[in-house]
Chain A
Amino acid sequence: MTQLPKTTERKMGLVIDLDTCVGCHACVVSCKGWNTENYGAPLSDQDPYGSNPSGTFLNRIHSYEVQPESGPAQLIHFPKSCLHCEDAPCVTVCPTGASYKRVEDGIVLVNESDCIGCGLCAWACPYGARELDRAEGVMKKCTLCVDRIYNENLPEEDRVPACVRTCPSNARHFGDLGDPDSEVSQLVAERGGMDLMPEQDTKPVNKYLPPRPKDMLNDGPREEIDILAPLLAPVVEEPKGFLGWLDKTLEKL
């Protein structure tokens, strides 16, 4: 089986804001486009115009409904891709060494020339973040756009993952989560960023920012109203009174 590096120099990863993600799938398709054209084999599609289309995607959005104890149901859009775990079980399970975690930045990658397509890593990943490409027979996963983030053929501002560059609502952030002073680490600190399924002990590098509390202007008890939004005090109770108020108020303008 394959060893993980003892430490990595940086912990590059994504911070995904679930309060802001509108579920538009821009990141999903931008990822598909870049990674079809770049790193390794193209992301293939089977039966693309037929009855059961399916294809390889490195990033997908799931939508979940949440029914709070009181108040209306909510819909959370949840983008999911490889979380580049510090203790990545997909790497240690790999029989050929094809799966590995980079020392420089912690990115988990698959060396496609060594991958035998056995699928063990996909079974080992508790997040379901790896997909076997059916045309190529190799395992595909998020590369954190390793071929963009250092790419000297791209302008410096474009050296970010394709999903981050394209996200219209700025719900995706990229940076070094090993550096407590980085913008992404500070965002995680400010907004209470969370690990996905921490009980799995995978130590994911990617973090999720939770949705903010919702529906505060609902039918709460009376006391609550005064704190959150005092109701408007009437200046008049009938149209005639209004015109008198109008006149008085205009005098002050």
Chain B
Amino acid sequence: MGHVQPELNLSPKVSDEVRKTTCYMCACRCGINVHMKGGKVAYIEGNRDHPVNQGVLCAKGSAGIMQHNAPSRLRAPLKRVGPRGSGEFEEISWDEALEIATGWLKPIRDTNPEKLAFFTGRDQSQSFTSFWAQNFGTPNYAAHGGFCSVNMAAAGIYTMGGAFWEFGQPDWDHTKLFMLFGVAEDHDSNPIKMGIGKIKARGVKIIGVNPIRTGYNAVADDWVGITPGTDGLFILAIVHELLKAGKIDLDYLARFTNAPVLVNGDPKSPEHGLFLRDDDGKPLVIDRVTGKLTPFDKPGVKPDLAASHRHAGITHRPVMHLLAERYLDAQYAPENLGKSCGVSAQRIKRIAAEIARVAFDEAIEIDQEWTDFRGETHAKMVGRPVSFHAMRGISAHSNGFQTCRALHVLQILLGAVEVPGGFRFKPPYPKPATAHPKPHCKVTPGAPLDGPHLGFTHGPEDLCLKDDGSPARIDKAYTWENPMSSHGLMHMVISNAYAGDPYKIDTLFMYMANMSWNSSMNTSGVMKMLTDTDENGDYVIPRIIYSDAYSSEMVAYADLILPDTTYLERHDCISLLDRPICEADAAADAIRWPVVEPDRDVRGFQSVLCELGAKLNLPGFVNEDGSQKYADYADYITNHQRRPGVGPLAGWRMGENGLTEGRGDVNEGQLDSYIANGGFWTSHVPDEGLYYKPWNKAYQDWAVKIGLYDAPAPYIFQLYVEPMRKFQLAAEGHGDRQPPDHLRDRIKATLDPLPIWYAPFEDDRVDTEEFSIHALTQRPMAMYHSWGTQNAWLRQIHGRNPMYVPTKLWEAHGFKTGDWAKVTSAHGAIIVPVAHMAALNENTIWTWNAIGKRKGAWALDKDAPEATKGFLLNHLIHELLPPKGDGLRWANSDPVTGQAAWFDLRVKIEKVDAPDETKPSAPPIKSPVGQGPDELRWKVET
């Protein structure tokens, strides 16, 4: 047959219309173009103009059409009619649903608001949900940061006024060495992939530090397959090498950090370890020019890193002395780490040398004048082009806070933060811990809480304790158990409420938090706590209200379901008051808007809160005449003002002479302006403000202008975190507010104001010879939490999650392809399929997170591989440490922040005969939405 070509239409019509909104398939918040045909969603691609993703889009985002149309979408409000956990519901009207909720919540508010615990899994409307909870008056509010990565966030903010996460980024255009620690690939994932692409194109080296070599670590030029929980040791060994070689940026340390700040060195003093301050409370340094004590921020001061000061018989030494003494000590020498972190001394030295070479021999300069907060003008911007990024891998350990701190101290010693080629903050950061609120917990029946729930403590006086010293919050956040728990402890809420420790609650109200499945430690235990009854036959946790868009595992455990919309059917704001979408060069925020209307009887959760708030007569949600203040969330987004002129959205506000940005009055057309602009707003940082932001006058002035701060707030980086020392002093017996005796030693040991490393707590409680293997989870790039499995396209990519076993263990146990293993921890056992993986730390096994599903959930067939072969590692991890015999409930959490220590887990493994399905296997729950169709041929015709 000869060559024959048919005629093709090379320019088919793509769509009727493109509607631009914001993705919701993970925490990235990329801009998307939703192509519409005949009023239906036909195709989703990245928005090229958008600051976050610049046109690209990941697998999850591109599969949004399957998420939006998933058969697991809830259809109407539900009232439980069977026992909890059965999944038996009846559909009810919204009027009835809101009447039930009001009937439960109003008496609580009138008598004792702490009886409501309100926690949100998705935390992208946190400034709104916290506003609601604050007006309700309960102290029991937080989002999911406590079981996610609060160590990373809190360590970053306490140390340098900003964190990694999506709150900062490497200077991708200038960096010459990028080092990545234990990353979770779901935060800032497209920007990180784009950045990796950029630096790879320039041939820049990437060093990946992760027990598992997948994803970003697979493309790293050098891979450090570190032992889980030992990153802090590795980092401090690098610090040791750099100090010993004098490869630190002394000029930067003197100008921009508390390295020169003087510290009380008298062990007998009640101020031992605290800063020497002037009468205004300003930390003091010695000026190299005058040799005199001087406030750190005085114009013209040249802070001295070397001189100490003796006053009233007490020697005060600069932080730099304490730091050098600690890390030059031989215990931090690479040679002395032994095999504990799984990296040889030689390799640590080579990596330290490479970091030093790039930082100091390849320093870069940008010809850009700038003026610092002391009034000194600099002709150039000088940079140390070494950049770092880290996330949950180093964070989710009981030593995570100190490890994250260690990494930031390393960055700062190099002078590689907020400089060209280093790590850069994104607005509203930099913002030091002192500029954030403190936590509030004062409950008054029938009235709002006395202030915002979450914030940063600076000493014992800021803890959330009742007058009798007991915890004010159900999750025991901001108590002596975890005094700096800036995100709360969502993972302890159900456990504590069940135990009545510190007190019982009446109603648990949760939003998008799959607590009876992948979002809890000790999943089977949590199911029992949610269904257990007291001696009267009543549920121990009396009432549960839950809002979700989908038929998740948690739905079955609630008494009342408030069905949410999909992300294409709702209003949202990605706000500067919350977790915005800024880039290092620009402030930016964004919206979601209903590009299609729901075809079910569902409502956006935030709109429901507006109505519920009005029914409960919450201040902030009612007008003076008692009528509902915000008709829905869109109305709130447009009309709410947090401070005069500052609302949820910064773009297109109303100024005296027309439209303005940042500060301005309400503009009724604001959302239309966002929609016309593609769903987002940006405002560029002036060129002279692009680097050195915490100290840069031009940046600070710009930040005030657009409403990030009310006055310039320059500060210095906290190598030494004084608030930690204040908690230690209390533990040593100083001050009025004293910790219970059983916590004194732990506080003294772990709240060290300079980073330390200690072994993960689980190591002290289990036999590490018997449980010699570390077990981890990672989330695949193409899935997000539990959502992906309902997605017909994504579940074909990640429908199974074997336990990956490294070569040494694979061979030692005689595993073969298709084998199963029993994996046992001190807490429980699971029986799961195994697979061999060579690119893995030799003592670590791992699996993909949250692929495993409960039978009957997510509109999947009961024989879905996610339910029969998939599994959760959560069954092996308890929210409490193994009992010590002292009768106390010790949380399996970081002692500073309360972060859930997921990755401290130790296990043993043995080969077993293949069962029918993974164990444990929970019985099926009845699906409130039926099951998905047998075939998809998803073409939207016009």
Contact = CB atoms under 8 A, between A and B. Distances in A.
Q: Do A and B come from one complex?
A: yes
Interface of A: 1-5, 17, 19-26, 28-30, 32-34, 36-38, 41-42, 44-55, 57, 63, 65, 67, 72-77, 96-97, 100-103, 109, 111, 113, 135-136, 146-147, 150-154, 157-158, 162, 165-171, 211-212, 214-219, 225, 228-239, 242-243, 245-247, 249-250, 253
B213 interface: yes
B14 A22 contact: no
A246 B324 contact: yes
B428 to A, nearest CB: 25
Interface string B34-45: 010000001111
A62 to B, nearest CB: 12
Interface string B194-205: 101110110000
B242 A216 contact: no
Contact of A29 (B5, B59, B71, B214): B59
Contact of B213 (A25, A74, A216, A232): A74
B187 interface: no
Contacts of A50: 860-861, 863-864, 932, 934
10 contacts: A22-B216, A24-B189, A26-B62, A37-B938, A48-B796, A171-B197, A215-B222, A225-B350, A232-B349, A237-B244
Nearest to A249: B250
B617 interface: no
B44 A33 contact: yes
B472 interface: no
A189 B479 CA distance: 62
Given A45-B792, A51-B863, A170-B198, A229 B8 contact: no
Contact of B937 (A109, A135, A242): A135
A21 B782 contact: no
A184 B1 CA distance: 33
Interface in B911-934: 931-934
Nearest to A213: B221
Contacts of A237: 244
A215 B799 CA distance: 32
Given A165-B56, A229-B357, 19 more contacts: A20-B201, A25-B59, A26-B57, A26-B61, A28-B797, A29-B782, A32-B63, A36-B938, A37-B42, A50-B860, A57-B796, A72-B839, A168-B194, A170-B201, A215-B223, A216-B221, A243-B324, A247-B306, A250-B288
Contacts of A136: 937
A150 B11 contact: yes
B98 interface: no
Contacts of B194: 168-170
Interface residues on B, range: 35 or more
Nearest to B242: A232
Contact of A217 (B53, B329, B351, B935): B351
A37 B938 CA distance: 7
Nearest to A18: B219
A229 B222 CA distance: 13
B241 interface: yes
A71 to B, nearest CB: 9
Contact of A25 (B2, B782, B790): B782
Contact of A150 (B10, B56, B215, B222): B10
A219 B65 CA distance: 48
Nearest to A74: B839
A49 B354 contact: no
Contacts of B122: none
B353 A229 contact: yes
B783 to A, nearest CB: 10
A67 B71 CA distance: 43
A235 B796 CA distance: 57
A24 B251 CA distance: 42
A101 B6 CA distance: 11
Interface in B555-579: none
B388 to A, nearest CB: 16
Contacts of A17: 200
A37 B215 CA distance: 29
Contacts of B43: 33-34, 37
Given A23-B781, A55-B796, A219-B344, A103 B3 contact: yes
A22 B781 contact: yes
Nearest to B302: A253
A169 B197 contact: yes
B931 to A, nearest CB: 6
B4 interface: yes
Contact of A24 (B59, B241, B254, B837): B59
